[in-house]
């Protein structure tokens, strides 16, 4: 199976604090992987490193078979653009633009094909059609989160890195979003998801916990 993401011997220190001690992780195409772990254990840091937004202190990061941590920044950005989409823990929507425009600007940046059709589809899937002309400050927390998810879906990226993507949603909405992710996953999108929600674990084909700077298989 095609290797989508691999972290080899990744360590990350902030000053003298060693957040990631020794991370080895490999995602194949079609994987749907969860990472659990206490607050402050380094889950967001791991996702940032996995997608090339932050660099490891030591170790190698490979995306689609290519080592990216030693590339010059510009080259790294070009390489990952359109291939990796983030759903951040704290969603960064453009406050001066509507829901539709947020999706449109992002899609244009990535030169997404058939953008209008794609946005309409994503608005429908995420039940945001009635909010399309709202600016973010008029949205609920859950609606904002769905726009952030929408951005990742519009990108059509084959790898989605999601940090607590349904943390602001009620249980029913979380289930709906994960059902949607699962459908995308079955059509080939690979997911790496940080979550605290143990009710969602049945969606994943592998679950790890991050504790003390290392990943371990989760044993319920
Ligand atoms: N840029 C930074 N500079 C210094 N320390 C940082 C930086 N980013 C993260 N840290 C530290 O690294 C540790 C891990 O942070 P991280 O955000 O990865 O945790 P997390 O597991 O995502 O936590 P949470 O569940 O609360 O989101 C924390 O102690 C944090 O203070
Ligand atoms: Mg975090």
Q: Please work out whether the CB of residue 98 comes within 6 Å of at least one atom of ligand 1.
A: no
66-67 vs 58-63, strand pairing mode: antiparallel
Give the three-state DSSP class for 170. Answer: coil
Q: Please work out whether the CB of residue 44 comes within 6 Å of at least one atom of ligand 1.
A: yes
Tell me the pLDDT band of 141, cut-offs 50, 70 and 90: confident
**pLDDT score at 92:** 86
Cross-strand partners of 17? 14
**pLDDT score at 89:** 77
pLDDT of 102 strictly over 90: yes
**pLDDT score at 219:** 85
- Which ligand gives the minimal distance to the CA of 88? 2
Q: With 0-12 CB in 10 A as exposed, 13-18 as middle and 19+ as buried, what is 116?
A: exposed
pLDDT of 220 strictly over 80: no
Decide: pTM greater than 0.85: yes
Q: Please work out whether the CB of residue 37 comes within 6 Å of at least one atom of ligand 1.
A: yes
For the record, the structure tokens of 28 come out as 């194949």
Do residues 220 and 40 make contact, with C-beta atoms less than 8 angstroms apart?
no
Cross-strand partners of 100? none
**pLDDT score at 129:** 97
Q: Please work out whether the CB of residue 39 comes within 6 Å of at least one atom of ligand 1.
A: yes
Give the three-state DSSP class for 18. Answer: strand
Which residue's CA is minimally distant from atom 17 of ligand 1?
Answer: 44
Q: Please work out whether the CB of residue 83 comes within 6 Å of at least one atom of ligand 1.
A: no
Which residue's CA is minimally distant from atom 24 of ligand 1?
Answer: 39
CA distance 58 to 114: 40
Tell me the pLDDT band of 88, cut-offs 50, 70 and 90: confident
**pLDDT score at 54:** 96
pLDDT of 176 strictly over 80: yes
Query: Closest by alpha carbon to 220, among 187, 198, 196?
Result: 198
Give the three-state DSSP class for 71. Answer: coil
What's the pLDDT tens digit per position in 193-214?
Answer: 999 999 999 999 999 999 999 9
Q: Where are the beta strands (DSSP E) in the chain?
A: 3-14, 17-28, 32-36, 58-63, 66-67, 84-87, 159-163, 190-194, 206-211, 214-217
**pLDDT score at 1:** 77
Give first-to-last CA distance, the chain, whole Å.
Answer: 27
Which residue's CA is minimally distant from atom 26 of ligand 1?
Answer: 39
Ligand 2 centre from 83 Cα, in Å?
22
Mean per-residue pLDDT, 62-82:
96
For the record, the structure tokens of 171 come out as 């249980």
């Amino acid at each position: 199976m095609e290797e989508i993401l691999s972290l080899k011997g990744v360590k990350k220190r902030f000053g003298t604090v060693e957040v990631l001690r020794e991370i080895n992780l490999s995602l194949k195409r079609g994987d749907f992987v969860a990472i659990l772990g206490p607050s402050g254990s380094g889950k967001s840091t791991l996702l940032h490193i996995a997608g090339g937004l932050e660099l490891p202190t030591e170790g190698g990061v490979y995306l689609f078979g290519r080592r990216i941590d030693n590339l010059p920044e510009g080259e790294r950005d070009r390489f990952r653009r359109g291939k990796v989409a983030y759903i951040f823990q704290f969603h960064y929507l453009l406050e001066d633009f509507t829901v539709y425009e947020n999706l449109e600007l992002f899609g244009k940046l990535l030169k997404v094909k058939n953008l209008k059709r794609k946005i309409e589809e994503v608005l429908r899937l995420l039940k945001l059609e009635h909010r399309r002309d709202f600016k973010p400050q008029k949205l609920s927390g859950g609606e904002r989160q769905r726009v952030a998810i929408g951005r990742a879906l519009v990108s059509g990226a084959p790898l989605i890195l999601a940090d607590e993507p349904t943390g602001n949603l009620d249980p029913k909405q979380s289930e709906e979003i994960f059902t949607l992710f699962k459908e995308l996953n079955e059509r080939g999108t690979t997911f790496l998801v940080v979550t605290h929600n143990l009710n969602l674990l049945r969606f994943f084909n592998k679950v790890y916990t991050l504790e003390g700077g290392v990943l371990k298989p989760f044993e319920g």
